[in-house]
Structure 1
Amino acid sequence: MRGLVLVCGRAGEWFTAPEGVRTEALPARPGKAEVDPLLASELVVAGSDADLAAVVLRLLRKEKLDTTTVGYVPADADSAVAARWGLPTDRRHALDLALTGFDRPVPLIRDDAGGVLLGEGVVRNPRGVAYCDDTVALRGEAGSIVVRPDLEGPGLVATVTRGRLLKRRQRFPARAFQLGGAPSVPVSDGVPYPRPMERWTWYRHTHDLRLVIVAR
């Protein structure tokens, strides 16, 4: 049983640790000062997708992705990370899996602004040109582009949605997604980037995340 649970932000309002499990209360989207002293070979994060991404970013920066397993207890029933990797959103079941399950390597997606993407990235109303590797995914306008990690393909899949009434969706598996054009605000795991960007990239990192997703 993993012995350290990082309880982030509002997860502290409902999280109750089983006997013998150590917990540390952290703020929402904790940073270097809060996370780095607690990094260990086995971690569980209780909180939002953004909280989990903040912890994984520290693992990336400290080069501990290969030596750390990460379990996740989603605070939100609509967690994109849970949906992407088939994790339970019932908190009791999610905690049981996180504490006792097995890890599996899953693609870790980075961006060119120094962040990571674990569940879902969204660009709404993009206007410009988007590439998925060497394939043109968009030239012009779209209602949205959604990028998610993908275990079956090169690393990620971008879904481009066009049309207002009759929506048309195209999926583009790729290792990297690039968008250039009119300024837009990318949203990673529910967190909007602080300012509109004319260029944005999401791409698969060279090392995967060891996420606990397989029940014992």
Structure 2
Amino acid sequence: MGGIVLACGTSIISPAVLARAGLEQHRIVPVPARPGKSDVDAELAKAADRSDGPGADVVVAGTDADLAAVALRLLRRDRLGVSVGYVPTARSACAALWGLPTDTERALRLAATEQPHGVPLIRDDVGGVLVGVGTLRRVDGIAYCDDDMVLRGTAHRIDVSPDTAGGPGLTVTLRYRRFGRQRRTVRGRAFAIGCEPTTPVLDGVARERTTERWTWYRHTEDLLLVRPG
């Protein structure tokens, strides 16, 4: 089995570690954090579409934001048929969602031996994707999940993530007060909000600009993530 390991940012993966994990035929490709078109498209073009059998064609070693950046390039190239493994190098909401190991060797071994499964790929209305969690803090506005109004007024925090329960696509958790226990969780295909200016935090990275409108929605095709069955 051949493929590539994208070592993002300061991530270091050695050939010896790959060999112990069963990925000795994968090439290590160092790329910047949150790699873009010029960093990974040529490598992704060489990746094979999913064939039957275990293991990942592309392994991403880095943060949730790095994985999202690679997923976006696969989406843009119409290559979501490529199976992806993930080796988190920092605290990872994506790993927690899908039960992925956070130890490097264990994560590599899983990427080499487990089957890929489709997981919801969440897009936003400014051209990005979300693989872990997106957060809006201290919001004041009106929000909908599909056709249902889920907020009119203020909330301390809203978290949106892929739905792990096989539902329509995404999970929305609203926390109304900072120290209160009152919260609400809903599921749907899309979430949209109009509000006072707020800064979305996307897979751990704050957006550079504030926004008064934001939408997350499930893409029509899933991300093929190698994960425990």
- Fold in common (TM above 0.5): yes
TM-aligned CA deviation for residue 192 of structure 1? 1.2
Counterpart in the other structure of 2:225: 211
Contact 1:2/1:99 (<8 A) preserved: no
Contact 2:9/2:33 (<8 A) preserved: yes
Counterpart in the other structure of 2:168: 154
The answer to whether 1:4 aligns with 2:10 is no
1:93 to 93, 106, 110: 106
Contact 1:156/1:203 (<8 A) preserved: yes
Contact 1:2/1:43 (<8 A) preserved: no
Over residues 120-158 of structure 1, what are the superposed CA-to-partner deviations in whole Å (9 max), with x where a residue is unaligned?
A: 000001110010001111110011000010032100010
Contact 1:44/1:99 (<8 A) preserved: no
CA distance in 2, matches of 1:188, 1:181: 17
| RMSD, aligned CA | 1.2
CA distance in 2, matches of 1:168, 1:116: 29
Amino acid in the other structure paired with 1:127? D
The answer to whether 1:25 aligns with 2:30 is yes
| TM-score, normalization by structure 2 | 0.89
CA distance in 2, matches of 1:56, 1:165: 35
Counterpart in the other structure of 1:72: 86
CA distance in 2, matches of 1:140, 1:153: 27
CA distance in 2, matches of 1:165, 1:202: 26
CA distance in 1, matches of 2:171, 2:2: 32
Contact 2:193/2:213 (<8 A) preserved: yes
1:175 to 185, 189, 204: 189
Moved over 4 A (4+): none
Contact 1:45/1:70 (<8 A) preserved: yes
TM-aligned CA deviation for residue 198 of structure 1? 0.4
CA distance in 1, matches of 2:14, 2:150: 45
Amino acid in the other structure paired with 1:3? G
SS in 2 for 1:142: strand
CA distance in 1, matches of 2:7, 2:216: 28
Counterpart in the other structure of 2:144: 131
The answer to whether 1:200 aligns with 2:214 is yes
CA distance in 2, matches of 1:79, 1:118: 10
TM-aligned CA deviation for residue 2 of structure 1? 4.8
Amino acid in the other structure paired with 1:43? V
Over residues 23-45 of structure 1, what are the superposed CA-to-partner deviations in whole Å (9 max), with x where a residue is unaligned?
A: 10001011000110001121000
CA distance in 2, matches of 1:190, 1:2: 31
Give the unaligned 5+ runs of structure 2: 49-56
CA distance in 1, matches of 2:161, 2:137: 15
Counterpart in the other structure of 2:14: 16
CA distance in 2, matches of 1:2, 1:50: 25
TM-aligned CA deviation for residue 88 of structure 1? 0.7
Give the unaligned 5+ runs of structure 1: none
The answer to whether 1:114 aligns with 2:119 is no
SS in 2 for 1:180: strand
